[in-house]
């Protein structure tokens, strides 16, 4: 548990994927995990399931993830990644000044990651490379998200994902190129969209075979 305050990170926080060693990060409303001046890691600030790998839902243990607070990437870091494990959650938090807000890597269950992402607001760094959400694992659910100041809102490299009320919003800046902005880049297909919409992007949706 992180009470209100600023916590400077110079390297990532890594949590176990093994359910018997599970750790959930709980942040109070004004707890801020902030990338420090000497941050130089290419991985995300918070890496869920990055140690003690496991793919077993029969073990006694609990679903793990991160909830609450603010992840401030200081314009130099990625925010959160799901590296391993199953049934991980990310909910009720804000991500600021990020290069990549949420990265769900290929899941432990034959590529399926089964994550639940709920009520997360993401603000990018307005650069050409900034991405709100990058999804490589299958079978995830994204609900009630606002994504601002990224060049690409959501990139789906997998199928079986359910997106509900996801709202990427483009921000003009000197570093950005409006013509290259895409709200939803769906490279795989067979994903479900329910009231997903974009504001001000040059391209709203890119989907296979259209």
Range in 1-15, 48-62, 108-122 the model is least confident about = 48-62
Query: 12 by DSSP, 3-state: which?
Result: coil
Q: How far is CA 18 from the centre of its chain?
A: 21
208 or 39: whose pLDDT is higher? Answer: 39
Residue 28 to residues 4, 33, 106, Cα–Cα distance (Å): 6, 11, 30
pLDDT of residue 169: 97
> How wide is the angle at C-alpha 157 spanned by C-alphas 156 and 158, nearest 5°?
90
- The predicted structure's pLDDT at residue 51: 94
Mean pLDDT score, 33-41:
96
Q: Is the pLDDT of residue 13 over 90?
A: yes
Q: Do the Cβ atoms of 154 and 129 come closer than 8 Å? A: no
**Residue with tokens 């709200």, as numbered in its chain:** 183
């Amino acid at each position: 548990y992180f009470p209100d305050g600023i916590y400077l990170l110079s390297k990532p926080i890594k949590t176990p994927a093994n359910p018997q060693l599970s750790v959930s990060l709980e942040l109070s409303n004004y707890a801020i995990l902030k990338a420090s001046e000497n941050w130089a890691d290419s991985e995300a600030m918070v890496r869920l399931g990055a140690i003690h790998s496991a793919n077993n839902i029969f073990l006694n243990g609990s679903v793990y993830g991160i909830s609450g607070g603010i992840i401030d990437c200081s314009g130099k870091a990625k925010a959160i990644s799901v590296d391993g494990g199953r049934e991980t959650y990310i909910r009720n938090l804000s991500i600021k000044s990020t290069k990549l807000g949420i990265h769900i890597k290929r899941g432990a269950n034959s590529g399926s990651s089964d994550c639940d992402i709920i009520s997360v607001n993401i603000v990018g760094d307005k650069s050409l490379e900034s991405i709100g959400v990058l999804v490589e694992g299958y079978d995830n659910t994204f609900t009630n998200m606002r994504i601002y100041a990224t060049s690409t809102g959501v990139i789906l490299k997998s199928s079986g994902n359910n997106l509900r009320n996801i709202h990427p919003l483009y921000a003009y800046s000197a570093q950005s190129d409006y013509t290259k902005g895409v709200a939803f880049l769906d490279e795989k297909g067979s994903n479900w969209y329910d009231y997903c919409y974009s504001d001000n992007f040059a391209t709203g949706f890119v989907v296979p075979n259209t």
